[in-house]
Amino acid sequence: MSVIRNILNSRSSKGGNFFNILTEILGFKPKALTHYKKAFTHRSLNRKDEEGNAINFERMEFLGDAMLSAVVASHLFKAVPGGNEGYLTKMRSKVVSRKHLNELGKDLGLIKHVQTNIPIEQFGVNIHGNLFEALVGAIYLDRGYKYCKRFIHERVIDPYVDIEQLEGKVISYKSLVIEWCQKEKKEFDYEVYEDTGNDELKHFAVKLRINRRVVAKARATSKKKAEEKASKRAYYALQNKIE
């Protein structure tokens, strides 16, 4: 009776529109909307359950991240029987990279359904990927592993996972440069300093030195982005040596 009651409640006029939206996004009908509502609830609402536990998408995001990794790992394990642990780990990282998850969340328009006290314009770009992971976590709690795996295959693996393309895809130029420097026993350092210039937004400038020689410079709105941009320029400048 409780299962039937949940299904009927999910189809009520109060949640009917949300039910239809979810059905379109998921490709199947959800059973318990409660999980999905948590997946779209931002911590700024400061909601709590009867036991005083916080209600927001962050715990669901944690679960979804684990399910994504498990399903993608299983697929790669079967698809590349000759791949060793290091190879498979790198390939999985490319599939579930933050940039890729953000693109998936954007494509599904998940941010339109988030409940928050903060203007959507103030969210960083990672909100899209966070919501996607939270949605995966909600699917697992609602319909179990079978439906969760099906959703990940339809939305992530089938349309985007091409082994040959993934092998040539770089997810972090900084990691490549650092690995090469360590392998070749070369000294390296990133000198970061503020450089706002005439821009309204705060910028950071980075100099990448290898063996005390500046090999690349870059500017960006964050230290991390500036370091990655400088690393990319260094990679292409030293590509023949690195590869």
Catalytic annotation, residues: 65, 133
**DSSP state string for 191-220:** EEEE--TT-SS--EEEEEEETTEEEEEEEE
6 annotated ligand binder: no
HEC string for 56-105? CHHHHHHHHHHHHHHHHHHHHHHHCCCCCHHHHHHHHHHHCCHHHHHHHH
- Are 188 and 215 in contact by the 8 Å Cβ rule? The answer is no
Hunting for tokens 């409640």 — which residue is that?
A: 9
227 annotated ligand binder: no
Indicate the pairing of strand 54-55 with strand 204-210: unpaired
Number of Cβ within a 10 Å radius of residue 85 = 7
Distance CA 14, CA 10 (A): 8
Residue 179, token pair as written in the block: 């690995």
In sequence order, the β-bridge partners of residue 5 are none
Indicate the pairing of strand 188-194 with strand 213-220: unpaired
61 annotated ligand binder: yes
Q: Cite the annotated binding site for Mg(2+) by residue number.
A: 61, 130, 133
Q: Cite the annotated binding site by residue number.
A: 61, 130, 133
